[in-house]
């Protein structure tokens, strides 16, 4: 079963999609947080498959400015990652009546999820980050600059329009302009990770074009709780799309060990 709704959160309309497996158990749900160019629809089949594998609800939402959520005028400069974790996730949980839960974020969504886990020591049972950035490498900057050039091609930009409509240019700028801003060069997660007290599963592809193996290694080193790294061989930035069965297996094992 699938439910879709629009929630009013901090003055924005936030699109939320909820997957319920047929054999639903009373387990804590998983909240998915998308990447810098992502949205609910770009998770594709993965949330439904995850709900079935875990026998628990899976929830995804479009961050403000993305997908089917409200447009934003200003770009998300400043510590928007911490703001999402500190303001939006608690409001989303309250609106949906969620108590205990797991966070699963991809790319910058993984960084948001790690912040969120560190901020909620009582109800976040575990956090999964996939291809999350721990700091900015030159490799990260080079890949974003290349992507910005590629999206100058109208046929490439049309891919963003397909998912974000008239918000597509904002989405692209919110990724490239924000992360290429010189003030971002010293950004890192290390200050917030020691506050994480729930188990953490760190997923990363060994050919991730946006970050080296130093990212998962640093997250595991800095996190204040038990951490587990799963590296996927011959895999880029989107393991859940490139190796969905392996990601499902890793996540199912991790979550069931905590709340099975």
- Per-10-residue mean pLDDT for the chain, 260 residues long? 96 97 83 98 98 95 98 89 95 97 98 96 96 94 96 95 97 95 82 90 97 95 89 98 98 94
Q: Does 127 reside within a domain?
A: yes
Q: What pLDDT does residue 200 have?
A: 97
| Domain housing 34 | 2-135+188-259
Which pLDDT does position 184 carry in this prediction? 80
Task: Give the per-residue SS3 of 13-33.
Answer: EEEEEEECCCCCCCCCCEEEE
- Quote the pLDDT of residue 158: 97
Say what the pLDDT of residue 217 is.
96
pLDDT of residue 132: 97
Dihedral of alpha carbons 89, 38, 34, 133, sign: negative
Q: Please indicate, yes or no, if residue 157 is contained in any of the structural domains.
A: no
Domain assignment present for 141: no
Q: What is the CATH number of the domain that holds 8?
A: 3.40.50.1820
Judge whether 125 and 100 are in contact, CB under 8 Å: yes
The dihedral formed by the CA atoms of 76, 82, 87 and 89, expressed in degrees to the nearest 10: 100
pTM here is: 0.96
Domain count, the chain: 1
User: Does residue 95 sit within a domain?
Assistant: yes
Instruction: Flag whether 162 is in a domain.
Output: no
Helix (H) or strand (E) holding 126: strand 124-130
Cβ atoms 216, 133 nearer than 8 A: no
Answer yes or no: is 61 within a domain.
yes
């Amino acid at each position: 079963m699938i439910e879709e709704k629009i929630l009013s959160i901090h003055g924005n309309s936030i699109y939320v999609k909820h997957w319920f497996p047929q054999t639903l158990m009373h387990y804590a749900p998983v909240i998915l947080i998308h990447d810098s160019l992502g949205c609910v629809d770009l998770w594709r089949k993965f949330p439904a498959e995850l709900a079935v594998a875990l026998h628990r609800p899976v929830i995804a939402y479009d961050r403000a400015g993305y997908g089917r959520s409200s447009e934003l005028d200003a770009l998300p400069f400043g510590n928007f990652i911490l703001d999402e974790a500190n303001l939006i996730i608690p409001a989303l949980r309250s609106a949906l009546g969620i108590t205990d839960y797991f966070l699963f974020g991809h790319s910058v969504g993984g960084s948001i999820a790690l912040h969120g886990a560190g901020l909620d020591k009582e109800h976040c049972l575990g956090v999964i980050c996939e291809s999350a950035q721990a700091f900015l490498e030159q490799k990260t900057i080079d890949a974003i600059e290349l992507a910005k050039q590629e999206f100058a091609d109208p046929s490439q930009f049309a891919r963003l329009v397909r998912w974000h409509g008239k918000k597509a240019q904002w989405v692209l700028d919110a990724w490239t302009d924000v992360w290429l801003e010189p003030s971002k060069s010293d950004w890192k997660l290390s200050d917030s990770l020691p506050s994480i007290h729930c188990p953490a599963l760190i997923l990363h592809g060994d050919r991730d074009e946006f970050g080296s193996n130093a990212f998962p290694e640093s997250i595991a080193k800095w996190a204040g709780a038990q951490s587990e790294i799963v590296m996927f061989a011959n895999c880029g930035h989107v393991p859940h799309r490139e190796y969905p069965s392996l990601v499902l297996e890793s996540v199912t094992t991790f979550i069931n060990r905590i709340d099975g």
